[in-house]
Structure 1
Amino acid sequence: MVRLAPDGRELDRRVVGTAELAVHVAERQQAEPGARWVWHDTARRYPAMLDAGVRVGRCHDLRLCHAILSTSSSVARAADLRAATQWDAVAAPEGPTGDALFTLADDPAARSGPPEGIDEALAEFARQRAAIAGAADPRRLEILCAAESAGALIAAELRHAGLPWDAAVHEDILIAELGRRPAAGGLPARVAELAAAVRAQLRDPQANLDSPAKLLRSLHRIDIPARTTAKWELRDFDHPVIELLLEYKRLHRLLTANGWAWLAEWVHDGRFRPVYIPAGVVTGRWAASGGGALQIPRQLREAMRADSGWRLVVADVAQLEPRVLAAMARDLALAESARGHDLYAGIVERGAVAERHEAKVAMLGAMYGATTGDSGRLVPRLRRTYPRAMELVDAAARAGENGEQVSTWLGRTSPPASAGWRARQASAAGEGASAADRDRARRAAGDRGRFTRNFVVQGTAAEWALAWLGEVRARLARLDPVPTAEAAPRSGAAFARVPHLAFFLHDELIVHTPARHAEAVAEIVREAAQAAASLLFGDFPIDFPLDLHISRTGAKG
């Protein structure tokens, strides 16, 4: 254990055994409440402290910050960081265009982790401090590293405390939706009945409904020329099998993703404890490597149940990404459309489009690069009404199409174009290039442009969400613990008597709180949203309104 001065000088060093670490941390924080702990990897260090009832106020996660700083285009001199490859996480697998926007950037099971020695950690911390100090905008990278590190603490705390979950309510929902739990290897009655009805419509009693390729062949045999089995495409066909098939797919998904097997594996002692991965997506969004916390279906939210005498404060942000886009672009017109009400309704009021659903389609098309159908028709109207916002995403798309990298508001930088992508572009530019070569290169460039277009917005939205989470966490820590008689012991010693974060999903959070603190917690959550906006965007006039309620359950109205 090394104690450092604010300028990085080593003040003293002592050996602290693993068994003593939690006690030492508690004592140190009592003496210095604002102390920041620098360590290799929060996911490895922090859970044992939580088990001992010790919460850490602030930390600097060297592994997560290395991933940001070693690849950030804002860092002028990153050679030393890049050379320290022992701190690298396992790279994300490439998607079809060589850019993994929605894949895990770090698989804990696949990496050996950063080196554990004190001197190695000190050297890496010095490299990171130098990188930030020499960056084009040090303050933004400081905020990003602080927010990322706070997120790592929160991820460990969410797993430790768990989300209150009523297994009996969950099972009642499964029975109501699917039918009684089947014998081993069988299907619940309602799912089996739907499968039989679908096969009858397909005129194929052996049709495989769970293999997309085989299902497509069955659909083609009854003259449904679908290209995929996606819900949005199947709905375009007028045939009695479609509604039956979509209902079968919905129920089968519920059974396989959150059925009885999931309940037995992931819910214990009244808590759902998933495994979160901070920055598990290259944009900085979180992922989950166990439990599927980011894909809980709406019908199961009734099973999210606060303990007796406690409440859930549930809050999510309306239209987070378009609001972030307005702030990044400094687009006052779009910010005005968002102020005080539904942003899509504001777009209609400004005359860009005629109806709310058109506003949503157009905005999503602008951020995700849709060029056909309704999006292709409506996006040009947004360009006329909100030129600053549209130019920001259009410029990001052009950069991607040219093989360049883009960065979020705080400085997280997109991955470079893959070798395969560059080879396709080079092949298309060669003298002997065929029409097929050029077509492949154009498609690859378009795919990469859509990737970078969304990277800047989704990544900055993830930064705002981290700032929101961190601010909520810090303010909750100031509330007084309740008496032991009102405790929720299943949340663990560190959280049994205090309000605490219990769930997070991109633009939504849930706090589990003693009922006596519920109103104060709701106000904290509201104030923290605006504090996050001020931290990132200064005095730019953008608001982040919340859909917020206090309830015994996590169900939304």
Structure 2
Amino acid sequence: MTAYLLAPLAGEALAQPRGVVVPLDATGRPTGPGTQAPRAELASVVAGIEAADPAARWVWEDSRFAYPELLEAGVEVRRCHDLGLTALLLHGAVDYVPTPGLPPRKLPELPAEALATEQDALFSALTPDPPTPQALAEEYAAQLEALASAGARGRTLHLLASLDSAGSLIAEEMRRDGVPWDRAEHERLLAERLGPRVPHGARPAKLADLTEVLQDLLDAPRLNPDSQPELLRALRGAGLDARSTRRWDLEELHHPAIEPLLRYKKLQRLLTANGWAWLDAWVRGTRFHPEYVVAGVVTGRWASQGGGAMQIPHDVRSAVRADPGHVLVVADASQLEPRVLAAMSADHALAEAARGRDLYQSIADKVFGGDREMAKVAMLGAMYGGTTGPSAAMAPRLAAAYPRATALLEEAARTGERGGTVHTWLGRTSPRPAPFGGGTGSGFGPDGPGPGDEAPDAVGPGSRDTGMQANAGGSGALGGQGNSLSPSQDGAPRAAGDPAAAARAWGRFTRNFVVQGTAAEWAECWMADLRSRLRATAPGSRQVFFLHDEIMVHAPESEAVDVEIALRAAADGAARLIFGDIPVDFPISVGIARDYATAK
């Protein structure tokens, strides 16, 4: 396999930017001066090498800078090595220190309007002072040396670096292709649920009507239900012991105002997350172009840089509609994290429970008298660190039935509590905590998040959604009341409050890190394998959406069956590549329909 460095030439005038393609040897050293060309001609140089060398691997600083202009010119590459992503992966995992001033870089914070129209052109003004080709080549050589010197661990990290880099290509291709979106259907849904469109900042009719209802029921004629302090005062003024305005706390209260208030909050969420302003900013023509951030969460899960790319709410899924003559093929990996836990721990009893069956029902039949919901709560509690309530009470029975799986989780938790680091199956390393109790950040107090923290409504006590909200920076590992850690922007908790409580909360984080991070590796491998299979067997089909354990492919009707076959084969291939030949099933469910709501 030949590596080719694609890099800008520093010091060129922006009117005539140039770049260079340099072949590299197996150690990352240049084998010649390379080929220089104006930026406009680089795509043809790359296309020529791709055609002549099917094993080519492109080395560049950051796929978000390097790949979009190639795609715009109609050039797709098979594989790359993203120096920035690999630097993030290696730092703290092996004996490696990234070169100062080199990757990773961050994209500038642009408003949604700019992100919706700006193309991150190759070596554009977004990177006015790019590193020299020599510096990038030296960084690549340093990364290869660090991987080679790490022995067996280096080999698995090399695989993970390749998966992250493949993910960076897929993310840019999905952004280019976009999710097919029916604007008229979206506008119809908004009008049906909210009322006719109103100017930005005004309340739609149905929200205005509910505001009047709440003002009357709470005897608060000037209440603004969008203001958490005002709403709390009104609820308490009505004699309610309201701890917060979060959904799961409100559901415990008994008052005529609670039902319309929950309806108001649901509609307000639709307006703010996917209302007319979102539609204008993010849907161009017939496509929503998501902004993914590969490994944007410390576990390796993806995040998004705007537009809510990591979720498409149920309320608007019927607006995700295939083009004429096309369908959406939507695949979900079933119960991915507990199956990953079975594979990691080599727990044969848990593997047997997952084989060809509903894993939770199998656990229920063996341990909890057939009660599937009880089994699910127990397993999620074990993986996410449920230390109180029903999940904690059921933990001993689960441990007795599946000792190897629960022992792996407990060891990860104890390591975190001691301030140590843990690793995913392929070697991604958890961050080290700050000294417990020494943080100065704003942790969650005993009453939960303060004003302005309404976004985590989707996950919390009593909620059935225990997954990480990666696009909001939250972590399912921190679910539960009374946590003394708050999630940081990238998903890692930050210490605050009592040291002992902080250590326990960090243990909950590391407990879930090993499973969630390994599940992210499986999913990235699934996507990378699928990408190759689609190009070979369904060339008209494109992956357009990804959410942790779900893939959406926009396919010509004639290729739908081939896409389903590719999705299932890629899931099997991902399991074999990561875990080898093990007796753990990773089944997927597949739906084929014209719109997302029907496919799900």
Q: Say which of 70, 85, 99 aligns to 2:91.
A: 70
Distance in 1, Cα, partners of 2:512 & 2:373: 20
One-letter amino acid matched to 1:2:
V
Contact kept, 8 Å, 1:87 with 1:115, in 2: the verdict is no
Q: Which residue of the partner structure matches residue 100 of structure 1?
A: none
Cα distance in 2, alignment partners of residues 146 and 256 from structure 1: 37
The yes-or-no answer on 1:54 pairing with 2:80 is no
Q: Does 1:510 find its partner at 2:552?
A: yes
Match of 1:547 in 2: 589
Q: What's the counterpart of residue 8 of structure 1?
A: 28
Match for 1:471: what amino acid?
A: D
Partner of 1:445: 503
Partner of 1:475: 533
Contact 2:102 2:136 in 1 (8 A): no
The answer to whether the Cα contact below 8 Å between 1:393 and 1:454 also exists between their aligned partners in 2 is yes
Matched with 2:250 is 234
Could you give the per-residue CA deviations for residues 145-169 of structure 1, whole angstroms, max 9, x where no partner exists?
A: 0000000001101110001000011
Task: Look up the match of 1:457.
Answer: 515
2:36 match: secondary structure:
coil
1:376 Cα deviation from its structure 2 partner: 1.5
SS in structure 2 opposite 1:57? Answer: coil
Task: In structure 1, list runs of 5 or more residues that go unmatched.
Answer: 92-110, 425-435, 482-497
Question: SS at the partner of 2:37?
Answer: coil
Listed as ranges, the matches of 1:517-532 within 5 Å are 517-532=559-574
* Deviation for aligned residue 1:322: 1.1
Question: CA shift at 1:439, angstroms?
Answer: 7.8
Letter aligned with residue 6 of structure 1: A
- 2:502 aligned counterpart, secondary structure: helix
Identical residues among aligned pairs (%): 49
AA aligned to 1:367 is M
1:90 offset after TM fit, Å? 6.2
Contact 1:178 1:189 in 2 (8 A): yes
Aligned match of 1:120 in 124, 130, 135? 135
Matched, 1:341 2:399: no
Aligned residues: 506
- Residues 423 and 521 of structure 1: CA distance in aligned 2, closer, same or farther (over 3 Å): closer
Q: 1:53 to 1:230 in 2, by over 3 A?
A: same
Aligned residue runs from structure 1 range 76-475, under 5 A: 77-78=95-96, 81-82=97-98, 84=100, 86-89=102-105, 115-136=130-151, 137-352=153-368, 354-419=370-435, 421=437, 440-475=498-533
The letter for the 1-side match of 2:591 is: H
Q: In 2, Cα distance between the equivalents of 1:178 and 1:456?
A: 42
Deviation at 1:208, TM superposition (A): 2.9
Q: Give, in whole Å, the separation in 2 of the partners of 1:115 and 1:337.
A: 52
Letter in 2 for 1:315: A
Deviations 1:204-247 (A, max 9, x none): 12223223333222222222213222222221222222221111
Q: Does the Cα contact within 8 Å between 1:89 and 1:113 map onto a contact in 2?
A: no
Closer, same or farther in 2 for the Cα pair 1:421/1:283, shift >3 Å?
Answer: farther
* 1:64 shift after superposition: 0.4
Per mean C-alpha deviation after superposition, the further-off stretch among 221-230 and 370-379 is 221-230
Q: Give the deviation of 1:351 after TM superposition.
A: 2.1
Q: Normalization by structure 2: what TM-score? A: 0.81
Change (3 A) 1:439 1:84: closer
Provide the C-alpha distance between the structure 2 equivalents of 1:438 and 1:155, rounded to a whole number of angstroms. Answer: 35
Q: CA RMSD in A?
A: 2.2
1:553 and 1:291 mapped to 2: Cα distance?
Answer: 20
Q: Which residue of 2 aligns with 1:40?
A: 61
CA offsets, 1:42-85, max 9 Å, x none?
A: 0000000000011111000000001001221xx2x22xx24545
TM-score, length-normalised on structure 1?
0.87
- CA, structure 1 residues 320+114, in 2 after alignment: closer, same or farther (shift >3 Å)? farther
Q: Which segment drifts farther, 14-23 or 388-397? A: 14-23
Separation in structure 1 between the aligned mates of residue 314 and residue 55 of structure 2, nearest angstrom: 40
3-state DSSP of counterpart to 2:544: strand
- Aligned-residue offset at 1:514: 1.2
2:60 maps to a residue whose letter is W
> Residues 156 and 172 of structure 1: is their aligned pair in 2 closer, same or farther, counting only changes over 3 Å?
same
Aligned-residue offset at 1:350: 1.5
Comparing 147-156 with 358-367, greater Cα deviation is found at 358-367
Aligned AA (2:565): E
- Give the deviation of 1:23 after TM superposition: 0.5
Q: Distance in 2 between matches of 1:214 and 1:394?
A: 43
- Shift in Å at residue 442 of structure 1? 1.1
Contact kept, 8 Å, 1:88 with 1:114, in 2: the verdict is no
More relative contact order, 1 or 2 (CA 8 Å, 6+ apart): 1
Q: Using the alignment, how far apart are the partners of 2:181 and 2:496 within structure 1?
A: 54
In structure 2, C-alpha distance between the alignment counterparts of 1:394 and 1:85, rounded to whole Å: 39
Q: CA deviation at 1:86?
A: 3.3
Q: Confirm or deny: 8 A CA contact 1:155 1:278 kept in the other structure.
A: yes
Amino acid paired to 1:130: E
Residues of 2 paired with 1:231 and 1:140: CA distance? 42
Distance 1:71 1:196 in 2: 55
**1:420 Cα shift?**
6.0
Alignment CA distance shift 1:113-1:151 (3 Å): farther
